[in-house]
Amino acid sequence: MTLSSLLRSSAEQQIAGLPVPVSVTLPDGQHIGAQEPRLSFVIRDRLALLHLRQGAIGRLAEDYVEGRLEIEGNMHDLMAVAPALLRSDPTHETHGWLMSHINDTRRAIWAHTHHSRAKDAAQVQHHYDVSDDFYALWLDPLRVYSCAYFSKPSMSLAEAQQAKLDHICRKLMLRSGERFLDVGAGWGGLLLWAAEHYGVAATGITLSKNQHAYVNRRIEQKGLQERVKMLLLDYRDIDESVPFDKIASVGMCEHVGRPNLPVYFAKMRRLLRPGGLMMNHSITAGGVDNPDVGGGMGEFIDKYIFPGGQLVHVSVMMEAMTRGNLEPVDAECLRPHYARTLWHWADALEARLDDARRVLGNDAEKIIRAYRLYLAGSAMGFELGWTSLFQIVASRPSETIRSDSHAAGRIAHARSDYPFNRTYMYQPDAAQEHALEHVDSASVTTLR
């Protein structure tokens, strides 16, 4: 029996056990699998057949982007099939102690070479400067490119993103006149929300030229030049001479590099005044030891979506914060929220594929194929716990011991602005409720 025959025979057995009826068209035109499939693979290169048999879903994704494989069917069915193709849990490494030690050394060298200022800028621009119009097709009107917060099950994506922005502001207890820093400010959703609804003096930074230009136009249109500024700046170069009261870091740590995390958080500490608060919102690994999601998915994202990214488990994130001399005081897992957010994005892109081809021009097909798999695959990963999302509030402890004069018996040893319970986080006062209920919808929709 030839290798091709063996591959075909084993592939037939493999797809027979999948949760969705699947057919496969082989390079020679022969068909195997379901007669009435909901999902079809058209294999144009025998290498893709080998990857299918191996359950190497990251390599299959690359085959699809490069045209060695065609996929016919919807993304929800595809993501029902993908985990069934895997042969092992993608959140666990099977290496022994020696290999783990070697990998740790390799990652440290990798982080040093992949996270210089120039390299980080190039990697950010590779991702975010694809096309503002492309992102606008499938993001919410505020272009918030991070996990939404579905505080009510009936929320639309736009409502859930506004709820997320306000959730962050409440966690940080933002107050009028405070100096607020948004590290990795994206298209300015949180930056502008904090300024408009909480009256802070807000500074945002990004390495994306497109985002920098876009947010500065929004600042000028809203007449907020006196209170809001957006800088094209590396986090390592933020001026430390005047400390900030509060800092938000949303979607930044994924791109810092594991060995650099203590350095990153030490920088955030120096930027905070004593007693101030930082809120870190970032994707984390589902497994304790794996640096990337297995099955080749991490490599696919690094090659086609965001080069230089690296995930760590939430325990590693907590340790890095502590090594940076910040005190974690609250953590909340939003993993299910991100799964739902990503399906909103994936479904929105699927509904606008022709528009995406129009706005992307010559490079459209590869970019669209990569993002179709990236968004739907990420949704699947969050659903299954291969990846997670945590919001961690941390404080820079004050050098002096304060007392809480509002508490019975004067509770001593409060060294930050963080309160003694988290009621404030989920029960906004009447003024905040009133502000949220009367958001000018026109000012939101014009952000497209």
CA atoms within 13 A on the CB side of 187: 18
Residue 199: DSSP 8-state:
-
User: In terms of residues, how long is the chain?
Assistant: 448
Q: What residue ranges do the domains of the chain occupy?
A: 3-85, 119-445
Structure confidence at residue 191 as a pLDDT band (50, 70, 90): very high
Which pLDDT score is estimated for 419?
82
Number of helices (H) and strands (E) in the chain: give both, helices first. Answer: 19, 13
Q: Is residue 210 helix, strand or coil?
A: helix
Q: What is the mean pLDDT of residues 253-279?
A: 94
Superfamily of domain 3-85: SCP2 sterol-binding domain (3.30.1050.10)
Nearest CA to 335 among 352, 301, 309, 311? Answer: 311
Global confidence as pTM: 0.86
Q: How many degrees, rounded to 5, is the angle at CA 425 between CA 424 and CA 429?
A: 50
- For residues 228 and 191, is the Cβ–Cβ distance under 8 A? yes
What confidence tens digit (pLDDT) does each residue in 256-265 have?
Answer: 988 899 999 9
Which pLDDT score is estimated for 78?
97
Structure confidence at residue 17 as a pLDDT band (50, 70, 90): confident
- Asked if domains 3-85 and 119-445 share a fold, the reply is no
The CATH class of 119-445 is: alpha beta
Query: Rounded to 10 degrees, what is the CA torsion of 385, 391, 392, 396?
Result: 150
For 85-178, list the strands marked E by DSSP. Answer: none
Q: Is residue 359 helix, strand or coil?
A: helix
Residue with the larger pLDDT of the pair 307 and 394: 394
pLDDT at 128 over 60: no
Q: What are phi and psi of 424, to 5 degrees?
A: -55, -25
Residue 177 CB burial class (10 angstroms; 0-12, 13-18, ≥19): exposed
What confidence tens digit (pLDDT) does each residue in 392-441 have?
Answer: 999 998 876 655 545 444 444 567 778 878 888 876 554 444 444 434 43
Which pLDDT score is estimated for 97?
46
